[in-house]
Amino acid sequence: MRRPSLARFQRRLWPALLAALLAAVAFLWATPFLWTLVASFRPEGAGSAGMASLLPDTPQTLENFRNAFESGSFGLYYANTLIVVVGVLAVQCVTVSLAGYAFARLSFPGRDMLFYAFLLQLMLVPPALIVPNLRTVVDLGLYDTLPGVMAPYFASAFGTFLMRQTFLALPRDFEEAAAIDGAPWWAIIWYVLLPMAKPGLVAFAIVSVTAHWNEFLWPLMVINDPAKHTLTIGLAAFTRGAEGGKEWGVLAAGTLLVMAPLAVVFVAFQRRFVDSFVFSGVKG
């Protein structure tokens, strides 16, 4: 009599426990974000005494957002960041798919050696390249311009690697069929391979967009003109305090302003992002 009910109870208990555990972990993980959200609406006076509290204060205020907005021309920063991110991605899509194709499908002497040499770039710490890159950018006449910010990223070792793996995972039958029908190499890439490699490209796009959206050091090095600042530099104007205190509310509001577009895009296309990561997994 009691056993079946106990078993049923257990069957229900475990999923419930698991859900509770996951919720607890999710809460822990989301705490910084929650705090940012709460702090950004907290009036300035309370901002110092109760700044660590996760509970929203009454009354709420938009003052912090106004202060953050007044700290810089955010509209301009958004536009500049967008130009950099989209510009880099557009060029990268061409370079990484062509390079990935070359490493995956063409055979030429030294191909593998070249590929590994290419991958070695991933091992270099970016700050080590600042001076040489800056010198090149100055010589190209791109110092203090947005193309100067983008230039070093036009080729991407990670993207090339990802696209090579994606192409390798595709069966050759389709290309061979197209080749028999007389399609030239570029038509094969454009009409046959790229549509099938879309998940790989999307996965790469996410990585590239987040990385360049958040990048601080290199834009700081290249850009002098305040009208060409990107979001991260604008934000840094009130986060990098050396000797003073911090206005947590304004800081939180500024952080939200910077991350909002990315967060909105991610929530809107979450399903597709996750799918693309699942599908782009290299077959074992």
Partner 1 sequence: MSMISRFGIGALALSMAALPLAAAAQTKIEFFFPVPVEGKLAREMTRLVKSYNGSQKDVEVTAVYTGGYDDTKLKAQAAAKAGRPPAVVLMSANFNVDLKLSGDIMSLEPMLRAEETTREAFLADFWPALHANAMVEGELYSVPFHNSTPLLYFNVAHFKEAGLDPTKPPRTWAELADAAKKLTKRDGDKVERYGFIMPAGYDYLGWLMEALTLSNGGRYFNEEYGGEVYYDTATMLGAARFLEDLIFKHKVMAQGVTEAGGVSTAFFAGKASMMLLSTGSLSFIRENMKMPYDVAFVPRNVRNAVPIGGASLVMFNGQSEDSKKAGWKFIKWLSSSETLGGWSRFTGYFAPRKSSYETAAMKEFIAKNPDAKVALDQLPFAKPWFATYQTVAVRKALEDEIQAMMNGKKKADQALRDAQKKADELMRPYVEQTSLKLP
List residues binding partner 1 (CB under 8 A): 45, 48-52, 71-72, 130-131, 134-135, 137-139, 143, 216-217, 220-221, 224-226, 229, 233, 236-238, 240-248, 250
Residue with smaller CB distance to partner 1, 15 or 245: 245
In angstroms, give the least distance from the CB of 220 to partner 1: 6
Residue with smaller CB distance to partner 1, 86 or 124: 124
Residue with smaller CB distance to partner 1, 161 or 248: 248
The angle that helices 248-268 and 270-280 make with each other, rounded to 10 degrees, is 70
In angstroms, give the least distance from the CB of 241 to partner 1: 6
CA distance 222 to 228: 10
In angstroms, give the least distance from the CB of 275 to partner 1: 39
As a dihedral over the C-alpha atoms of residue 119, residue 122, residue 128, residue 132, rounded to 10 degrees, the angle is 50
Q: Convert 62-92 to b/e letters by CB count within 10 Å (16 or more is b).
A: ebbbebbbebbebebbbebbebbbebbbebb
CA distance 178 to 185: 9
In angstroms, give the least distance from the CB of 239 to partner 1: 9
CA distance 259 to 89: 19
Q: How far is CA 274 from the centre of its chain?
A: 14
**Which helix (H) or strand (E) element contains residue 185?**
helix 185-187
Residue with smaller CB distance to partner 1, 89 or 250: 250
DSSP one-letter code for 283: P
In angstroms, give the least distance from the CB of 154 to partner 1: 19
Residue with smaller CB distance to partner 1, 55 or 120: 55
CB 253 within 8 A of CB 40: yes
Residue with smaller CB distance to partner 1, 209 or 220: 220
In angstroms, give the least distance from the CB of 25 to partner 1: 25
Residue 77 dihedral angles phi and psi, to the nearest 5°: -60, -40
Q: How far is CA 21 from the centre of its chain?
A: 29
In angstroms, give the least distance from the CB of 213 to partner 1: 18
Residue with smaller CB distance to partner 1, 132 or 184: 132
CB 78 within 8 A of CB 261: yes
